[in-house]
Amino acid sequence: MAQDILSRNNVQVRGRGTQTLLFAHGFGCDQHMWRFVAPAFEADYRVVLFDYVGSGRSDLRAYNRERYSSLNGYAEDILDICQALDLKDVIFVGHSVSSMIGLLAAIREPERFHRLVFVSPSPRYLNEAPGYVGGFERQDIEELLQTMDKNYIGWANFLAPMVMNRPDRPELNQELTESFCSTDPTIARRFAEVTFFSDNRKDLPKLTVPSLIIQCSEDLIAPRQVGEYLHRNLARSTLRITRATGHCPHMSAPEETISLIKDYLEQASLS
């Protein structure tokens, strides 16, 4: 059973430490996106990477529309992997939607997690009156999903540069576009709907595990107000604003991302 899960999620284990860093990729991506960050921790930690079912080199036959109709289904992937590898005291590092997926996993089984690191997180992508700024109106997301239905390649070419927000690094835009395009369109469409209409604001007070919020200074997907909202509503959280712009600092500014994570873990070890 454990081997089935490791194969299903294309789990890769590296590093020489005893404590585990578990890296979780964002929507439309896979574990390859962590290649600029994860190796920096392999000397001191056991590094675990994986692909959610429906992404990367996971077993697409395992995709179940009902299970993955909410972020809880993806949280089950994380807990399955923790159980298969008998992981405890995990430092979870999640990008974008994986931040809330990791939060849900840590609420369900807090004993497995030591720290959570949220990279470009958002508990709600839609603006909600009164006073919550998520970055998108409902019509924006509905039009985005309609574009996915009509012209998936065109959608990928439109969204990737907006997500990356690094016009000076066209190679990153191209890589993200190719990552979107390599994902099964039907599964990607479903994951996008689940992601952009998710609302985890009521889950935030349930988290007991300490967390680091890495918020980019100019992020069109998760504006700065989102990071500040999370910090106000997550007990035992630390907020760091990056110099990096865009939604993918682990790709566009890996050195800064590594430094922020290492500084946080070093301070945590002293407390």
Choice among 51, 55, 58, 96 that is catalytic: 96
The Cα 164–Cα 158 span in angstroms is 11
The Cα 18–Cα 45 span in angstroms is 6
Task: Fill in the amino acid letter for 229.
Answer: Y
The Cα 14–Cα 20 span in angstroms is 10
The Cα 26–Cα 121 span in angstroms is 10
Residue 219 appears among annotated catalytic residues: yes
Tokens of 110: 């807090």
Angle at 58 between CA 148 and CA 188, to 5 degrees: 10
Query: How many CB atoms within 10 Å of residue 161?
Result: 17
Residue 96 appears among annotated catalytic residues: yes
On the 0-12 / 13-18 / 19+ scale of CB atoms within 10 A, 65 is: exposed
Q: How far does the chain reach from its first CA to its final CA, in angstroms?
A: 38
Residue 271 appears among annotated catalytic residues: no
The Cα 90–Cα 225 span in angstroms is 28
Choice among 219, 237, 250, 252 that is catalytic: 219
On the 0-12 / 13-18 / 19+ scale of CB atoms within 10 A, 108 is: middle
The Cα 48–Cα 13 span in angstroms is 5
Choice among 120, 247, 250, 252 that is catalytic: 247
Residues with active-site annotation: 96, 219, 247
